[in-house]
Structures are given as structure tokens and as C-alpha cells.
């Protein structure tokens, strides 16, 4: 392999081969491939008008009477996360010939989770102590709720979204959500720690045998940064955020031993942090870290035989989105040709 441009070409060829052999039985995997083809720029090629409508009907078929989409997969994704992901796939499939008004069921179960009027002092939803301690898990719910609301605004408009969601005003609810979580952000690193400090320390001592607690905090933070970005809210503490994330990056450029959504989480937060970094040095370090990560992701897939890729395709959307996000701040030709899904969606 001569360069990263060659790696990019090899990765695309391998993904095409992988799609033909990997299991696509679960609903979640159907959604995965919509995201993958959007990021690759092959969505229109893969889904002609008939195939697109077939996929849309398949996704809508998985919406239950309570409004939620359920994954039914081995990872047991929460319905808030699955619903946000499904609506994101519909956003990517939407074009001038696709209308979603009257095709979605009301999200009646959502009222069981949310406060009708969140604010800086009123939490948008209740979280169990476990979700507060294991905020990587809890943030799927916190961010998922907001992503559902934002996606529905995009798909059907404000008035229809109000009817489907049962809230007074979608935008006001999202603004209240943002005020609450902005106030809870940790100034030392731009992440969140909603649990009591002593309990968090005890939990982290146990959790570290399964995962790096600081990596988990970064993964949790990304779910909130995705929403802030859609609301055009710049995150403060930019330079502290950059320092924190760079301390978690491995020498290879990856954040763990293989690429998956954690790479997207890091690159997305770095891109947000750059808007509030006054240091040219820190800015350069962040961009270099994103570029290094994207190259490492491409090399991992280019060098690893398809037979050794994970059998669950859900690793691909996050990994490829990490490259697409890095591309937005890179001049390298090898990082061109990828499409950032966050220009269209609130969730991945």
C-alpha cells in the first residue's frame, strides 16, 4: 500500500464485499447501511426510487404503537437510542420525492420520560442512579430524546412534530434541554458527571475492569455535543476539551484497539472545541489528531481481511463518520470524498 489515498480505495472495495457477506437480519443493521452508504456517497446509487421507498417502508414498519422503534438486537439498544437512529436514517433517505407527513405514529410513550418544560433549573428527564453513574449509557437516553425531537422537526415540520410528540413547542423544549445540560458541563474538561462525586469514584474503580472510565465519559459527552451542534450552540472550555481528548488518543491514532463510534466521538467533540480555542498551537494539535485518527481508521480497514471484521456491521457508521468529520478540517486528498452525516442528522 503506497499511501492513504490507496487505503481509501481499498476500504471502499472491502465494504462492498462485506455488505454481501455480513448478517443484515436485525433492524439495527438495516439502519447501519443507510448511514454507511450516505457517508460513502453511494446512497442514491444503492437506493433507486423503488428501493428507497422499500427501505423507508421497512423502517416505518418497525415503529410500534407507542411511537418508539425497537432494535431487537443482541446489544439491546434502548428504544430512545433506536428511535433517534431510525429517524436519522429516514432523514438521510428523505428527498424531494419523499414526504413523511401522516406516515409516522405519535410518540405517546415519550411523555413517560420527559418533563414538558425543561429549563436551566428543570431537568429535561429523570435518570436512574445507574444511568447517571454510567453516563455513557444514560447519555443515549438524554441525547436520544433531543435527537428524536429535532429529527421530527426536520421530517414533518414544527406543527406536525408538536402533534406527534405531545409537547407545547419543540424548539422551546430543545432550548430548555440545552440550557440544563450547558449548566451541568464540567469546566475542567467539557464533559459531564451527573452522579455524586464519591459514588462516581467508587463506580469508576469497578468499571475500569471493563472499560476506561474517561473514555466512557468522552463517549457520553459526544451524544450531547451532537445536539449542541444542531442547535448551533458553541461549547465552552475549548482548550480544556482538546487537552482531555488528546490525552486519550493512542499512539496509533485510534482511541481503542479497533475503530468504532468512539473515534467519531473524539473527532466530533474536537471539531466543536475548535470553535472555542484561542490557541493556534492547540488548534493545530487538534486538527492533527483528527487527521491522524482518520488515517488510522482507513489503514485498519484496508489492512484487515474482511473475514476479520466484526460480524455486526454497527461498527462501520461510526468509524466512517470519524473520517468524514475529520475530512471537514483536513486538506489531505486521501480524506476527500466522504460525506458528514451530521449535515443531515441529529444522531448516529
pLDDT in tens, 186-203: 999 999 999 999 999 999
Say whether pLDDT at 4 is over 90.
no
Cα–Cα distance for residue pair 330/333, rounded to 1 Å:
8
Judged against a pLDDT cut of 70, whether residue 1 lies above it is answered with: no
Q: Which comes out higher in pLDDT, residue 166 or 25?
A: 166
Q: List phi, psi (to 5°) of 198.
A: -65, -45
Judge whether residue 205 has pLDDT over 60.
Answer: yes
pTM higher than 0.85, yes or no? yes
Residues 6+ apart with CB under 8 A from 161: 149, 152, 153, 155, 170
- Which residue shows C-alpha cell 466522504? 338
Confidence of residue 249 (pLDDT cuts 50, 70, 90): very high
Nearest of 312, 309, 221 to residue 31 by alpha carbon: 312
Distance of CA 319 to the CA centre of its chain: 11
Grid cell of 58 as nine digits: 421497512
CA distances to 83, 87, 156, 193, 345 from 104, in Å = 12, 10, 9, 35, 17
Higher pLDDT, 235 or 272: 272
Q: Please, which pLDDT band fits residue 73 given cuts at 50, 70 and 90?
A: low
> Which burial class, exposed, middle or buried, applies to 284 when counting CB atoms under 10 A from its CB (0-12, 13-18, 19+)?
exposed
Q: Give the chain's mean pLDDT.
A: 93
Rounded to 5 degrees, φ, ψ at 303 are: -90, -20
Contact between residue 4 and residue 333 where contact means Cβ atoms under 8 Å apart: no
Amino acid at each position: 500500500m503506497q499511501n492513504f489515498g490507496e487505503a481509501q480505495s481499498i476500504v471502499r472495495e472491502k465494504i462492498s464485499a462485506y455488505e454481501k457477506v455480513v448478517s443484515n437480519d436485525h433492524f439495527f443493521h438495516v439502519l447501519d447501511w443507510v448511514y454507511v452508504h450516505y457517508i460513502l456517497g453511494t446512497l442514491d446509487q444503492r437506493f433507486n426510487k423503488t428501493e428507497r421507498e422499500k427501505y423507508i417502508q421497512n423502517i416505518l414498519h418497525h415503529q410500534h404503537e407507542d411511537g418508539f422503534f425497537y432494535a431487537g438486537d443482541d446489544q439491546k439498544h434502548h428504544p430512545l437510542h433506536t428511535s433517534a437512529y431510525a429517524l436519522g436514517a429516514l432523514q438521510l433517505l428523505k428527498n424531494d420525492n419523499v414526504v413523511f407527513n401522516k406516515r409516522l405514529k405519535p410518540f405517546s410513550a415519550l411523555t413517560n420520560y420527559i418533563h414538558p418544560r425543561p429549563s436551566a433549573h428543570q431537568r429535561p428527564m429523570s435518570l436512574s442512579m445507574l444511568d447517571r453513574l454510567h453516563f455513557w449509557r444514560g447519555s443515549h437516553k438524554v441525547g436520544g430524546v433531543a435527537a428524536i425531537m429535532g429529527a421530527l422537526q426536520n421530517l414533518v415540520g414544527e406543527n406536525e412534530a408538536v402533534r406527534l410528540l405531545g409537547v407545547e413547542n419543540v424548539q422551546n423544549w430543545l432550548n430548555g434541554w440545552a440550557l440544563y445540560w450547558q449548566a451541568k458541563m464540567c469546566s475542567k474538561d467539557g464533559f459531564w458527571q451527573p452522579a455524586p462525586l464519591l459514588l462516581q469514584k467508587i463506580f469508576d474503580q469497578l468499571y475500569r475492569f471493563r472499560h476506561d472510565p474517561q473514555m466512557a465519559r468522552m463517549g457520553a459527552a459526544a451524544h450531547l455535543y451532537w445536539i449542541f451542534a444542531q442547535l448551533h450552540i458553541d461549547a465552552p472550555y475549548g482548550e480544556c476539551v482538546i487537552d482531555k481528548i488528546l490525552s486519550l488518543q493512542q499512539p496509533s491514532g485510534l482511541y481503542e484497539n479497533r475503530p468504532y463510534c468512539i473515534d467519531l466521538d473524539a473527532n466530533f467533540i474536537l471539531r466543536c472545541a475548535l470553535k472555542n480555542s484561542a490557541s493556534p498551537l492547540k488548534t493545530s494539535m487538534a486538527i492533527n489528531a483528527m487527521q491522524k485518527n482518520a488515517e488510522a481508521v482507513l489503514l485498519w480497514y484496508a489492512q484487515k481481511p474482511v473475514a476479520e471484521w466484526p460480524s455486526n456491521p454497527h461498527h462501520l457508521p461510526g468509524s466512517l463518520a470519524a473520517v468524514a468529520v475529520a475530512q471537514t478540517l483536513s486538506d489531505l486528498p486521501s480524506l476527500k470524498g466522504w460525506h458528514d452525516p451530521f449535515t443531515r442528522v441529529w444522531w448516529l
